[in-house]
Structure 1
Amino acid sequence: MAIEIPKVKLGTQGFEVSKLGFGCMSLTGHDHSVSDEDGIAIIKHAVERGVTHIDTADLYGPKTNEILVGKAYGKPTSFLFLQALKHLPREKVQLATKFGVESMGPDGPVINGTPEFVRSSLEAS
């Protein structure tokens, strides 16, 4: 028997999101990464179990995490992915990404919130 993940409404427009989200950082993470095929399978598994909130960031990888999530949602970078995947239902999933960390410096993250950096981050996402 499958467990249904509860949802919560956000705002006044009827927008619903699962109370449980899936953070993708570990898929292309700090210590190790999984293969694209495994990462896509993991994301699909979460969605098939009722998770509708998928979280990523341009810093994860860097950039490779957003690319992996894009592949899971039908933006493959090769014909093989296009043939191999049954793409996830984009209309049923909310994607969240984060940006603003330009690089990691010796004293920690270098933050950039300029309009130009924000725009370039969004366009690259």
Structure 2
Amino acid sequence: MKLLEPLAELEQREETLRQRVNALSVEKKKAFYAAQGENLKDPDTYASLNWFFLGGFHHIYLGKYTIFFIEFSILVFSIIGLFAGVYAVVYLLIALALYELPQLFFSQKIARQHNYDMSVRLFNELHPNQRLK
């Protein structure tokens, strides 16, 4: 995930991918778009999950289960700690919020980058002789 990557660079990489896919034969294009359609993630859905649900549920949407488990565990541990009177866990909650805040602000970009990375992997699997970076 490249939060600080300029949006213009991401758009340029997406355009390069589109051009490479458009240069394929009709059958190969159909195969690529069929496989891609099954795996694309909606940036608005990702942003909504990020905005409305605490504990990293937006990571499940992108298939990042390990990150979800870590964030959710920290959240649950912190809440239990607060009820137990261990107020030092507030620092964990603050750290979690500081980690999540940039993801909230860049959620559209994160989902687009995820879709681009998935599309490049798919393109490279289907066309190993025409690999993209």
Please, what TM-score do these two structures have when normalized by structure 1?
0.26
Q: Which protein, 1 or 2, shows the higher relative CO under an 8 Å CA cutoff with sep ≥ 6?
A: 2
Q: Select the structure of larger CA radius of gyration.
A: 2
Structure with a larger share of its residues in strand: 1
Please, what TM-score do these two structures have when normalized by structure 2?
0.25
Structure with a larger share of its residues in helix: 2
